Structure 1
Amino acid sequence: MTAPVDYSTYLVTDSTPGILGDRDLCQVVEAALQGGVTIVQYRDKHSSRDVVVETAKKLHDICKRFQVPFLINDQVDVAAEIGCDGAHIGQDDLGIKQARELLGPNKIIGVTASSVEEALQAAKAGADYLGIGTVYSTQTKKDTKSIIGPSGVRTILSQLAASGHGAISTVCIGGINISNTQQVMTQSSAPAKSLDGVAVVSAIIAAADPAAAAGELSSKVLTAKVPDVIQAVARKTPLSHNMTNLVVQNFAANVGLAVGASPIMANYAEEAADLAKLGGSLVINMGTVTPDGLKNYVQALEAYNAAGGPVLLDPVGAGATAVRRSAVKTLLAAGSFAVIKGNEGEIQTLHGSTVTQRGVDSDSTLSLAQRASVVQSVARAHGSVVLMTGVTDILSDGRRTFRVDNGHELLAQVTGTGCTLGTTISAMIAAYPHDTLVAAVAGTAMFGVAAELAAGRAEVRGPGTFVPAFIDELYGVRKATAENDSRWLSLVKISRI
């Protein structure tokens, strides 16, 4: 596998009547993939080899349609025969070296680990990921060596990081379900390493609605990752290079500082090549469009693309004038963007719709489903994470799509809050580069919760008193999260679409 693997919502199948019932496994797995499962492991210890091969081929075809990796448990020879994405092996199964010889260098090999010793040995031997557990007792796996709980997972993660294996992907398994997923991921998190996801069996296979269960589980996993993103910003203090309009520069700089970034407001593109080397991100905000400004944007975009730094585009008022529509086309043709953020009218303009905007404002004319479809389409077309802001914010990377329902109406009464959301997200994507969608969702949720907390303050009477309270709450959320206090996370409203 050359593309990064998303281990966040990991489905392990079970074909036994007590879990699957009389349903068709292929139909259940397909529904789970529709709901948001990101990787599938076929486990069948009871059927004949012929049945396993036949079922594996069907499941592999289904997973390929969803562009989701498909692995086979234990039976590495079957994985090699059907040419799937890899295999998962236990401590008593074929060794990693032999599995690699059978599968080849580019296939995924996962290993079960129940102790620090097993985890370190597998990591050293070249495992691509670890399945850590058993976390809690479970009816689907009887031969568990021990129940290690979240604290045992945390110990293993800590030792992996301390031993130089912090980059290996990890999921936990055993008794994980929708009700405990977020708690398990939070309690298992070590200072230098967190879980990449959770592996479940009956939580999806036995669910009355596998698609809904997968979607809810996916939302819980993403919510649990929000503190990881904010803590990454606090640790790294990433540069947030803003090329933005004069109206919001001061506000954006203060918001950047509040969320833990190191903001710089620099519209002169000759500085971009040097700034891009500092490992931060660039925000291109089209609030003020001039011929010279557009040239600066293009030059800075090229510099950050060359350095590998993420760039966020805020196509302010993209549908308002012919000049702005032309500017957006120029920018999209000039380079690549990690994130494109805009309101409904702006994103519709990028989608090719003819939208009349009054300046930077946008009236909503689309249903939630239509908005999600537009966001997904724009994300696929440009290879970017796309955020369409509104009462409900919608984010997608073209494959995964989430909604965030945090925020407050006072945000719409203050100039530049949309622009400063771009600054906030720029810090997140710079500090958490391995999953831009997760980083963007985290920044959006943090921004919205801070607005809710600020609006609820007794001293806030309107827009004028809201702004300083809002900056204070952004700072407070960042500080609390950096100190492992995530109580505010109970206010986050993230769900998969």
Structure 2
Amino acid sequence: MFANLSLYLVTDPTPEILKGRDLCIVVEEALKGGLQTLMYEIKMRVLIETASKLHAITKTHGVPLIINDRVDVAVAVGAEGVHLGQDDMTIDTARKLLPDNAIIGISVSSVDEARKAVDQGADYLGIGTVFPTPTKKDTKSIIGTAGTKEILEAVGEMSRAVGSVAIGGINLGNVQRVIFQSQAISKGLDGVAVVSAIMAADDPKEVATEFNKLISILPPFAAIPAPPRPNEVSALLNDVPLVVRKMVKEHPLVHNMINFVAANFAANVALAIGASPIMSPYGDEAPDLALNGGALLINMGSLTSESVSHYLKATRAYNEGGNPVVYDPVGAAATQVRRAAVKQLMADGYFDLIKGNEGEIREVFGNSAGRQRGVDSGPSTLNNREKATLTRDLARRERNIVLLTGPVDYLSDGNRVIAIGNGHSFLGQVTGTGCALGTVTGCFLAAHRSDKLLAVLSGLLLYEIASENAAAKDYVRGPGSFVPALLDELCVIREAVLKGDDSWFSGRAKIQQITL
């Protein structure tokens, strides 16, 4: 076949030539104009010259140079290794072409890809894409920290050790959370791969220095859960009155980004237990409010087109200060908009506590049983053991506290799992009582940070025992008379606590430790 050489185009991919246009679009337009032959040109000389210059610099600093995809370039410049994609040359072929001591990394986005790479002899895994990023358009999937952790768990159990870095959308604002939440039982990340956060920085040296600083320390919100004890229930029950007294005396601030239906009631509940509420859906206020050392509640009951952006601003501000954040994914499975909001919020922030009913917790975990009708959980499809397991597994995955509410509440920090049988059915018949519980737990997390499970348990028991007291009043005939009685009983307990009287709690807690 003879080519028609009358109009022969040689491509030039440099930005100055393309002027921001897509190369393929330029070529297609030229073809429409009568182009007869096309040569796609990548100058090996340019690649090798640039790689050689980079290698000279990295050798001066004692840092290995890894060439992406191009084994030929790595060999030509004597680079220390290559990084391969799933569609590139196989590891076995690359080994035959490279020196014996060459480093070979490979991109993986699933457990199967990771196991295969380890079996074939990869030296390290590039795990991702963790978060969406403009520098990589052809991502097969966004795996988040949960997917990263799953891969690390799998390869950590293999017989051969392998290095690991997370890649995709990692910046100074999320690097600590990525490392913390990706930590599996058997293996953690060895590092992170960064692109635009350094390459586009005005001062790359300063940014790289900050990255190294953040990577070497735990994030301010990190807390390692205590291992279960044989006498766990007794120990927790002994500590609950102390934590309640501590919260009442500290009078913590709780910043509520809460649905408008529950705002008034939640504020009154916070005041009744001795806390200081502020109701503000405006994310730009969060940096100032976070300076008070209080907690943030994200309750997405009244979701709008602007809500998520405000939630994210506030969450970042409280995360940076190490202040607790409670997430109540109200109606998480009710609409596609809410499902998308859950994914975005879970990807962009750390929540010390995730609190919700069965349907909401299942949606957050990723195994939703179907669409919710509204904010109610709907008919339960899990037995008690399955609920306890779901609670533990989500807490373990996110490295936080999870509270699954219902007739029996399940609370876990990923290690300990506690079932709580207190409360009254009237709580489920009044709008806002569940939302107010989010406010209460935020107050307790702000006051007692050394054991987050104990803090949440203390707030939960205070709230639910008060509801039992309220429902037992002679004048309470139903939900309408129950609400003011609940506020009264919360206030009565607060006053008793200030006097050192713990009789409100003695013998009232209905909790047990669950062994899974």
The two structures share one fold, judged by TM-score above 0.5: yes
Which of 336, 347, 362 lines up with 1:322 in the alignment? 336
CA shift at 1:354, angstroms? 2.6
Which of 225, 238, 248 lines up with 1:224 in the alignment? 238
Tell me whether 472-481 or 233-242 shows the greater mean CA deviation: 472-481
Deviation digits for residues 234-258 of structure 1, max 9, x if unmatched? 1110001000111111000000011
**Correspondence 1:426-445 to 2 at 5 A:** 426-445=442-461
- Give the TM-score normalised by structure 2: 0.54
1:382 alignment partner in structure 2:
398
2:303 alignment partner in structure 1:
289
> Distance between the aligned counterparts of 1:390 and 1:460, measured in 2?
22
Deviation digits for residues 380-426 of structure 1, max 9, x if unmatched? 11111000000000000000110111000011110011000000111
Which of 468, 482, 488 lines up with 1:466 in the alignment? 482
2:373 alignment partner in structure 1:
358
Tell me whether 485-494 or 451-460 shows the greater mean CA deviation: 485-494
Query: Does the residue aligned with 1:340 lie in a helix, a strand or coil?
Result: strand
2:511 alignment partner in structure 1:
494
CA shift at 1:480, angstroms? 1.1
2:103 alignment partner in structure 1:
none
> Distance between the aligned counterparts of 2:488 and 2:259, measured in 1?
23
Runs of 4+ with deviation above 4 angstroms = none
> Distance between the aligned counterparts of 1:351 and 1:268, measured in 2?
28
> Distance between the aligned counterparts of 2:383 and 2:493, measured in 1?
32
The share of aligned pairs that are identical, in percent, is 48
> Distance between the aligned counterparts of 1:230 and 1:434, measured in 2?
14
CA RMSD of aligned residues (A): 1.3
Query: Does the residue aligned with 1:381 lie in a helix, a strand or coil?
Result: helix
- Give the TM-score normalised by structure 1: 0.56
Checking the alignment, whether the CA contact within 8 Å between 1:375 and 1:387 is kept in structure 2 is: yes
2:7 alignment partner in structure 1:
none
**Correspondence 1:37-436 to 2 at 5 A:** 215=230, 217-355=231-369, 356-362=371-377, 363-436=379-452
Structure 2 gaps, min length 5: 1-225
CA shift at 1:263, angstroms? 0.3
CA shift at 1:335, angstroms? 1.1
Checking the alignment, whether the CA contact within 8 Å between 1:377 and 1:398 is kept in structure 2 is: yes
Checking the alignment, whether the CA contact within 8 Å between 1:230 and 1:482 is kept in structure 2 is: no
- How many pairs are equivalent? 285
Q: Which has the higher contact order (CA 8 A, sep 6+)?
A: 1
> Distance between the aligned counterparts of 1:330 and 1:229, measured in 2?
33
CA shift at 1:479, angstroms? 1.8
Deviation digits for residues 248-287 of structure 1, max 9, x if unmatched? 1100000001111100001011110000010100000010
1:69 alignment partner in structure 2:
none
1:52 alignment partner in structure 2:
none
> Distance between the aligned counterparts of 1:344 and 1:483, measured in 2?
38
Deviation digits for residues 68-115 of structure 1, max 9, x if unmatched? xxxxxxxxxxxxxxxxxxxxxxxxxxxxxxxxxxxxxxxxxxxxxxxx
Structure 1 gaps, min length 5: 1-196, 198-210
2:175 alignment partner in structure 1:
none
> Distance between the aligned counterparts of 2:389 and 2:234, measured in 1?
23
> Distance between the aligned counterparts of 2:362 and 2:466, measured in 1?
28
> Distance between the aligned counterparts of 1:364 and 1:486, measured in 2?
35
